[in-house]
Amino acid sequence: MIYKEFEPSDDLKSILKCYWVLEGTSEEINEKQTIVPDGCMEMIFHYGDFYYQYLPDGSKIKQPRCFVFGQLTQKLEIEPSGDSGMFAVRFKPEGLQPISQMAAKEFQDSAVPLDKVLGPEGLSLGSKILDASTSEERIKLIEHYLTATFESSAIADSIVNDAVNTIISSQGRQKINELPIESSVSRRTLERRFTDTVGVNLKQLSKIIRLKTAVHKMINKEYNTLTELAYDNGYYDQAHFIKDFKKYTGLTPKDFFDSNFSFTHLVYENG
């Protein structure tokens, strides 16, 4: 199995975290995988065999070939139908909105076909990405599209951007009711603009980023005890940490390492 991340060009670093590629045969990747929220939305292109996505009732649907997955607020379970070949664009929390024709809150926990998010150009972009034969080709195609589209779109909401940066820099420990905002904007207005742009509200993103920080430390063995990990990441106590952990992963911290979280481990090991 191959998982590799690529940096975006300097012109796109304000909206993107990275590009990534996952490839593997049906023998290498053949089980249901669970992915946990990380505060980012992703544009996914399946150039390998399609993937199934499990719904909360236990049924499964086939994912589109090319789609955007909105903010996760709960665990996501997917399963390959054969050989895996994925190219993805990982956006910063507020990064997709300047090029999207939908408010981010409209596709929370959902895989939405690319043309519904980008318009008719999404179909053309998807075809080009799927027809490309190398990661370098795919990156060149998506960078050309994103650069042109981002330049011609409305400037990203600077107030929302500042709020996101504050939450991330504090690793989710910033108290939302003490979040600094411009005097010309009410907290209610910020909350509405934030949810439309990011796909979750301020408190949700803060909780997701705090948990992401803790999970990163767990996977990279940067802790001694769960109690220490909880306090170091701003949780009131271990019980509070376990409650949030189960809410977003469906498991206790102990069970997390015994289950199929290979995708999550790959992402978090790479930062």
The predicted pLDDT at position 128 comes to 97
Residue-wise pLDDT tens digits, 106-165:
999 999 999 999 999 999 999 999 999 999 999 999 999 999 887 655 556 888 999 999
Cβ atoms of residues 226 and 220 within 8 Å: no
Q: Residues 187-191: contacts with CB within 8 Å, 24+ apart?
A: 190/159, 190/160, 190/163
What is the Cβ-side half-sphere exposure of residue 132, based on CA atoms within 13 angstroms? 19
Separation CA 42–CA 211 (nearest Å): 19
The predicted pLDDT at position 197 comes to 94
- The phi and psi torsions of 99 (rounded to 5 degrees) equal -115, 0
Cβ atoms of residues 21 and 44 within 8 Å: no
* pTM across the whole model: 0.91
pLDDT under 50: residue ranges of the chain: none
- Distance of alpha carbon 75 from the chain centroid: 12
What strands, in cross-sheet order, belong to the sheet with 33-35?
33-35, 76-80, 51-54, 60-62
The predicted pLDDT at position 155 comes to 56
Separation CA 127–CA 141 (nearest Å): 11
Residue-wise pLDDT tens digits, 196-215:
999 999 999 999 999 999 98
The residues, any chain, with a CB within 8 Å of residue 20's CB and separated by 6 or more, are 3, 4, 5, 6, 86, 87, 88, 90, 267
How many CB atoms are located within 10 Å of the residue 42 CB?
20
Q: Which of 188, 216, 214 is nearest to 202 (CA)?
A: 188
The predicted pLDDT at position 259 comes to 58
Cβ atoms of residues 23 and 165 within 8 Å: no
The predicted pLDDT at position 156 comes to 62
Q: What distance separates the 2 farthest-apart alpha carbons in the chain? A: 57
